[in-house]
Amino acid sequence: MKRIEGLAKLTGAERYVDDGPADAGLGMGPCLWGMTVRSPPPHARGRVKEIRYGKGGGGIDWSKLVVVDHRDIPGLAGGRGVNEVLMIGTDQPVLAAEYVRHVHEAVVLIAGEDREMVRRAVAAVEVVVEGEEAALDYRVEPTAAQVQGGFDANVLKRLGINKGDVEAALAAAPIVVEGEYETGAQEHVYIECNGMIGWVDAAGVVCVKGSMQCPYYVLNALKHTFACDEKGVRVIQTATGGGFGGKEDYPSVIGLHVALLAAKAGGGRPVKMIYDRGEDMQATTKRHPCLVRHRTGVDRDGRLLAQDIQVRMDAGAYVTLSPVVLSRGIIHAAGPYFCPNVRVDGKAILTNSVPYGAFRGFGAPQTIFACERHMDVIAARLGMAPEELRRRNLLRDGQTTATGQVIKAHAPSPGTDRVALMDRALVAAGWAKKKQEHTAFNAASDHLRRGMGLATFWHGAGFTGSGETYLKSRVHVAGLPDGRVEVRIATTEMGQGTTTVMTQIAADRLGLAADRVVVAVPDTTVVPNSGPTVASRTVMVVGRLVERACEDLLVRVGLGKDAKGAVVGEAVRRWHHLRNAEGGGPRGELIGEAVYRAPPGVQWDDATYRGDAYGTFGWAAYVAEVEVDLRTYAARVVDFVAVQEVGSVINPTLARGQVAGGVVQAIGWALMEEFAWKDGAMANATLTNYIIPTSDDVPRGGIRVEFVENPYPHGGKGSKGIGELPMDGPGPAIANAVADALKEFGVEPNRLPLTPERVMGMMEKAEAAHA
Amino acid sequence: MMAAGGTPPTPMAGCTDVLAHWPGNLAGKERAYLDLSGVGELRGVRWTGTHMQLGALATYWDVVTDARCVAEMPLLVAAARTIGAVQIQSRATWAGNIANASPAADGVPALMALDASVVLVSGNGGAGGLEREEVRLDEFYLGYKKLRMRTGQLIEAVRVPRRPRSVSIFEKVGARRAQAITKVGAAIARSDAGWRVVANSVAPTVRRCRAVEEMLEAGAVVRSPLGFAAALAKDVAPIDDIRSTAAYRRAVLGRVLYFALRGKAGVV
């Protein structure tokens, strides 16, 4: 099926938050432009001594501007307003009050009709900060002066996994291999920057619409700050130009900002905030930087005996989602291998950087990079081929993961043969033949070196552990008077194809043509909370709920659960006809409903981190071929094969697009995307200086994507998650390929991104060690 | 307008530098600008018996699509093709690249390697006529963003002498293969006038590497990238910044020169 909104996006007809009418269609006057005064460098941490308005003066008429700082918050919510952004914690203020914990923290909001005047007013406000010693390097223990927030050594969260007896197994192991692996931050660079419109409607309801992944997260944040129930707030998603996790938690912040400005402006006047690229890069969340240490015991045949893994992540200045990112990180840290003794010790460290948040992969790419690089380091130590080491250790059905989860087939599907999956990738990539060719090529070339790299990995599908059970996602499928059905979910389209696939799922389940299915605009007054659009859960979890809500709808109109086709539309129309003919009462809505229930047999213990971390996993084997130019030390990917088992593939075009796009995003993370930090703030916050791949950095033959399909009985149409796998595997596959290409020099590319500067540094280090 | 008293307006041609920073550039919005786009005499590429002349409004695309440039001055075409994408190439001007005076400019090293000069024009104090001055491009930069140019002068044209060149090499090292600002770059040419080696992004200005040129003239034997190290230590002074490091720039400039020149002069 073709993408439903594809033509509108291609032709520019789609309306993003900044594209609507000047008055946002509300008839209450044109939107005021909202902007943010942020805490200035160099103080990444310190006391706010004073906020000075009116510096500079020139041409600013403050009487025409709406100004909000932290002192306004209680009063703007009937005296009950709370200066907290509700996420996992409530530590982050909506607007900094007496203290700032990172550079570019929001302090004052200003709105007005004249955008240029607002810009000048923002520049005219001076936030005076009395600096305190900031913690800017999460890798080292903080000094006493750097400890903050009452945390022990700035450890925001510590989580561990224990299986078997690691110390005893390491002591007995004939070979122990150690390694340290590091990955940097990453900016989402969604094509549409964060943007929101807020207003207070005639009934006093605080309304927000804009670019977001998770309408109910924004709703909950509004409820908390405005101290009201869900009747007092409304959130609507507009067409969203990409998210990648960057619009999971941050929209709550900008949503609160427009809502506060609108509340202060009064008169139902809408306020619009559209970040420019620089502000979006400086102020919003990024991928957590991460340092992982491995100490692994193996026998001479390469069998894993013990894995001792320490994971340390930079959480940034506030909690945001860091505990959950750390959780997913440590669960994936040991890789898709069987090892009888595993210990993972994970820490998220509070620093004074901009808060790190959700980003595609959610902690797993970082720990998978470490695990898969380390597998190649072990193989090199053993003199064994990297694919052979993996072949000997990949999980077989019936074996257990680090958390003690037994990996098994989901009847009636056969189990996943992870070794066969790897072999398929190796064959598709021409692994053995290419390796031979490279040996000859590298010997003959004076300045080019080619290499191949492999990664075998996994990604837990959906929320970790009991997450879905706590969430109790709810989905409605409404039967409309004209016989069409409307899918009502809070799960959002942000470019990944949700609208199309949900249409497919409902149309297939009910035997209707696609044009008889509508997917409702996510508006919290219309759609129930089907959960956030994250964690590769949309098609698998919400898609399954859509199927079940379709079945409920069929029962409500007096049909059997398996009814399909024209009878469905007729029954829906008849239901409405009868209700209206009976007359008198309010015109009823016909709604089929489904609420999440966990697949049978899934057990997870949050206290001990033992059990079934996920209902199921996606499995993958990726192969990268790279060429390193010794003139410039630049590595580029010349071929890429991505083979994965993701349950059923519902829309092959969209699925291939997800994988290819994810691989390209991961190429950027692996080779280019480097932050220039200054005082914990991003110094290269432009697309000129923060480098992401262009089409010329992608292999000429494209990303070669293959799927193995094993339907998962508890996922929508048999699906498992797809979207995050392609962020997990390319980093290590590319780094392993660079190591292979440069093996004559003995370099160990254990830190991403592998910028040319870093490759040069590794080469020089290796040469110095050699000399 | 340029000759009137006070601060003259900033001349604008393709606007690709000005507009990139426009929304947040509060100071820039207070300034006056002079739009040159209507001055037809400043457009395009002209050829005389001895020179190729780029008007102040000549774009990169004008050069890419000029058959004589392609045949006679491939160095300029190679440089033009590395700048932004077609949209930028068709708006951005050679003269603007010179006036913007970025040490990372890509048009400047190619022009400098071809011994280009800048034609400056100014009003002569209300007497009606125009005064012209021609400055060699390799003498045009006095320091970071400091030009050998008086208040009230305007770049009218860039003149490049026509002479056979046996070597034309343009090397650009950016942070990715396209759409990138140069981290290290070099333009190399050889004619009867001798070797020209010009480097960008390795000093406060685009700069001729005269010590390297002398090595090439003398046929000094160079057996590895390090063979250029001593000469480059005299010629360039790279720094660490948000795009790269001094160490990388120094090392890679030597490597780029070595591999580009292998088999030529004394480079083996």
Q: What is the pLDDT of residues A121-152, one digit of tens each?
A: 999 999 999 999 999 999 999 999 999 988 99
Q: Estimate to the nearest angstrom the gap between the alpha carbon of A583 and the chain centroid.
A: 49
Q: How far apart are the first and last CA of chain A?
A: 61
- Of B230, B265, B254, B224, whose CA–CA distance to A446 is shortest? B224
Check: pTM over 0.95? Answer yes or no: yes
The pLDDT tens digits for A171-189 are 999 999 999 999 999 999 9
- Average pLDDT by stretches of 10, chain A with 771 residues: 95 96 97 98 96 78 96 95 96 97 98 96 96 97 93 97 98 98 98 98 98 98 97 98 97 98 98 97 98 98 98 97 98 98 98 97 98 98 98 98 96 93 98 98 97 98 92 97 97 97 98 98 98 96 98 97 96 91 69 95 94 97 98 98 98 97 98 96 96 96 96 96 97 98 96 98 91 76
C-alpha distances in Å from residue B238, one per residue of A517, A633, B112, B184, B241: 62, 18, 19, 9, 9
Quote the CA–CA distance of A292 and A504 in Å, as a whole number. 41
Q: Residue B193: phi, psi to the nearest 5?
A: -75, -10
* Contact: B177, A696; criterion CB under 8 Å: yes
Residue A56 DSSP one-character state: S
User: Which chain A residues have a beta carbon less than 8 Å from that of B26?
Assistant: 119-120, 123
The structure tokens listed for A635 are: 């590595």
Is B246 part of the contact surface with chain A (CB cutoff 8 Å)? no
Distance from CA of B250 to the nearest CA of A (A): 11
Is B229 part of the contact surface with chain A (CB cutoff 8 Å)? no
pLDDT tier at B8 (50, 70, 90 boundaries)? Answer: confident
User: Which chain B residues have a beta carbon less than 8 Å from that of A691?
Assistant: 175-176, 180
The pLDDT tens digits for B160-195 are 999 999 999 999 999 999 999 999 999 999 999 999
- Using a CB–CB cut-off of 8 Å, the residues of A that contact B are 116, 119-120, 123, 276, 278, 446-447, 630-634, 636, 672, 676, 683-684, 688-689, 691, 693-694, 696-697, 755-757, 760
Residue A394 DSSP one-character state: B
Q: Which residue among A278, A632, A689 places its CB closest to the CB of B173?
A: A632
Residue of A nearest to B179 (CA): A694
CB atoms inside a 10 Å sphere around CB A37: 23
Quote the CA–CA distance of A562 and A163 in Å, as a whole number. 45
Q: What is the ipTM of this complex?
A: 0.96
Residue of B nearest to A691 (CA): B175
Is B27 part of the contact surface with chain A (CB cutoff 8 Å)? no
Question: One-letter amino acid identity for B136?
Answer: R
C-alpha distances in Å from residue A372, one per residue of A366, A453, A593, A759: 10, 10, 43, 19
Residue A769 is predicted with a pLDDT of 87
The secondary element (H helix, E strand) that includes residue A264 is helix A250-265
* Contact: B176, A697; criterion CB under 8 Å: yes
User: Which chain B residues have a beta carbon less than 8 Å from that of A694?
Assistant: 176-179
* Contact: B176, A691; criterion CB under 8 Å: yes
- The answer to whether A763 and A742 have CB atoms below 8 angstroms apart is yes
Task: Using alpha carbons only, give the angle B104, B106, B107 rounded to the nearest 5 degrees.
Answer: 130
- Of A35, A186, A68, whose CA–CA distance to A691 is shortest? A186
User: Which chain B residues have a beta carbon less than 8 Å from that of A633?
Assistant: 248, 252
Per the document, the length of chain B is 268
The pLDDT tens digits for A368-386 are 999 999 999 999 999 999 9
Q: Which residue among A446, A632, A689 places its CB closest to the CB of B243?
A: A689
- Of A381, A332, A318, whose CA–CA distance to A92 is shortest? A318
Distance from CA of A712 to the nearest CA of B (A): 41
Distance from CA of A120 to the nearest CA of B (A): 7
Residue B115 is predicted with a pLDDT of 98
Residue of B nearest to A672 (CA): B175
* Contact: B24, A278; criterion CB under 8 Å: yes
SS (H, E, C) A305-323: EEEEEEEEEEEECCCCCHH
* A474 Cβ contact partners less than 8 Å away, ≥ 6 residues apart: A528, A529, A530, A545, A593, A594, A595, A596
Is B28 part of the contact surface with chain A (CB cutoff 8 Å)? no
* Contact: B256, A631; criterion CB under 8 Å: yes
Taking phi over 0 as left and psi of -120 to 50 as alpha, with beta for the rest, A223 belongs to alpha
* Contact: B242, A633; criterion CB under 8 Å: no
Is B88 part of the contact surface with chain A (CB cutoff 8 Å)? no
* Contact: B252, A633; criterion CB under 8 Å: yes
The pLDDT tens digits for B78-126 are 999 999 999 999 999 999 999 999 999 999 999 999 999 999 999 876 6
Cis peptide leading into A753, omega within 30 of 0? yes
- The answer to whether A250 and A357 have CB atoms below 8 angstroms apart is yes
Residue of B nearest to A755 (CA): B175
* Contact: B176, A684; criterion CB under 8 Å: no
- Choose the mutation target among B16, B87, B100, B179 for the interface with A, i.e. most A CBs under 10 Å: B179
User: Which chain A residues have a beta carbon less than 8 Å from that of B245?
Assistant: 757
Q: Which residue among A276, A696, A755 places its CB closest to the CB of B23?
A: A276
